[in-house]
Amino acid sequence: MKQFFKYVLGALLAALIFSTLISLAFGWVWGIASLAFFMAAAAARDSWQLLTLNRWLARHQASAGYQPGGIWSQVFGRLHGLERHAEQTQQKLRDALERFQRAGAALPNGVIVIDQSDRILWCNPSAERHFGIALKQDRGQSLTYLIRHADFAEYLQSPPSGHPFILRRVRGTDLSLSLEIVPLSEDERMLVTHDITQMERDEQVRRDFVANVSHELRTPLTVVGGYIETLLDGETLDAAMQRRVLSTMRSQTQRMQNLVEELLSLSRLESQHAPAPDSPIPVSPILQQLFQMARHLSEGRHDIQCLCDSTDSILGSESELMSAFSNLVTNAVRYTPPGGKITLQWRRERGDGVFTVQDSGIGIPPEHLPRLTERFYRVDRARSRETGGTGLGLAIVKQVAMHHDSKLEITSEPGKGSTFAFRVPQSRIVPGHEDHAPEIDQPHFSES
Ligand code: ADP
């Protein structure tokens, strides 16, 4: 109000002084004419500024640097201030929204906001992945229409219990999700999803492992326990029977001992996180030991060859490599019928060093190949047990290979034989001065 009087009275006073001076100088007619002219000029200026303000409001942007003067400067100044404030607020909101969207996209958990009718209002990329949906197309769709599962629909309708709901085989995939509903407002709820597929698989592997170990130990324990009962009952056994009983007890305890030793060695390998040591292990002596071992196990039943006088060395752990290679050799002897052929070989292939054990044994049907290195996986359980197998040998080989940045490659044909290749990368090979890596048709050791 004070400003209004200041502005209006100031303008009137200026007009009166100006017209009085004109009247005094040129007469009252000119005085009145100049007053009218002054008032008309003031009105024209205000109209012009009103028009400018109107234009600015219409374009929603101030004309930069425009200095109208007087009260209009204040009006425009304030509008500029308001505009700047609104822009800053908008920028802050944009930043916050962007931050929220970035956080939502980075979240490993899925988040879906749904309304009371389970319609999708918003979701993050993890939720899109978990449910196989796309926000762009599926916004507004009912979640229970997309995920047709009676228990899931019931869970969404029931009041929040604080307990997660487990949804398995989501939309026909292997995915398992843990879901939790969180109320957001009167008519919005948030569904948080967590991928538990790997956790469930690990849990299943753990359960299978415990069941397998118990199963493997139960049979020999039952046999040994049964014989001990018989002996405690004071039953008289003739000398031949006694020998048979004691020899069975010995072989069953040996079986349990093998199992425990292999379990311990597997657990040691699995708990190693550092890479294998890089001491150079000469290949030739290892292969000669393996060759002797194969001859000993075979007891003359197989034709065994060793192509192994290379001067290469492997950078790694001798005991681990020996354990892996001997498992492959033992298997070749165990799964090759008498009269079959077994070849041990070390060769270089594009810089890699490859240790192969080739046999002309029973072979492996292709559907079993991908699972052979799983703990306790056997193609023929009875045959494996008969020949003293624990089902852990190839799992150990795989762990040793991983520890040496190497790979186990298996090729096999049922009835024709198998080849197990342990491929060591060039980075773990120290080539000999003269590389005598032999050709397959030049046997250096052989046993028939
Ligand atoms: P196992 O102690 O039963 O031999 P492994 O882990 O060493 O356990 O091998 C897993 C399975 O792979 C064996 O039970 C057998 O069915 C198959 N297998 C391994 N080596 C050979 C081979 N040389 N020839 C045929 N089958 C093999």
What are 335-351's pLDDT values in tens digits?
999 999 999 999 999 99
Residue spans per domain, the chain: 2-99, 107-195, 205-270, 280-447
Token digits of residue 260: 């425990």
Q: What is the pLDDT of residue 113?
A: 94
Res. 448: pLDDT tops 50:
no
Q: What is the pLDDT of residue 51?
A: 83
Ligand 1, atom 21, residue with closest C-alpha: 331
Ligand 1 pocket by Cβ (under 6 Å): 327, 331-332, 335, 359, 361-362, 364, 372, 377-380, 384, 389-395, 418
Average pLDDT over residues 264-271: 91
| Same CATH fold assignment for domains 107-195 and 280-447 | no
Res. 360: pLDDT tops 80:
yes
Q: To test the ligand 1 pocket, which listed residue (255, 265, 330, 384) has its Cβ within 8 A of the most ligand atoms?
A: 384
> What are the Cα distances from residue 3, in Å, to 7, 16, 75, 377?
6, 20, 12, 94
CATH class of the domain whose range is 205-270: mainly alpha
CATH class of the domain whose range is 107-195: alpha beta
Q: To test the ligand 1 pocket, which listed residue (394, 409, 410, 418) has its Cβ within 8 A of the most ligand atoms?
A: 394
Extract long-range pairs of 34-40: CB within 8 Å, 24+ residues apart: 38/14, 39/15
Worst-scoring range by mean pLDDT, 290-294, 406-410, 428-432? 428-432
pLDDT tens profile 40-49: 888 888 888 8
Average pLDDT over residues 275-294: 93
CATH 3.30.565.10 fits 280-447, yes or no: yes
Q: To test the ligand 1 pocket, which listed residue (302, 331, 344, 356) has its Cβ within 8 A of the most ligand atoms?
A: 331
Those residues whose C-beta lies under 8 Å from the C-beta of residue 144, and which sit 6 or more positions away, are 118, 152, 153, 156
For residue 406, the CA-to-ligand 1 centroid distance in Å is 20
> Rounded distance, CA 441 to CA 305, Å?
10
Nearest to 388 by CA among 323, 325, 297, 320: 297
What's the mean pLDDT when you consider all of the chain? Answer: 88
Ligand 1, atom 20, residue with closest C-alpha: 331
Question: Is this model's pTM higher than 0.95 or not?
Answer: no
User: Which amino acid appears at position 120 of this protein?
Assistant: I
Atom nearest to 392 CA in ligand 1: 6
Higher pLDDT, 8 or 205: 205
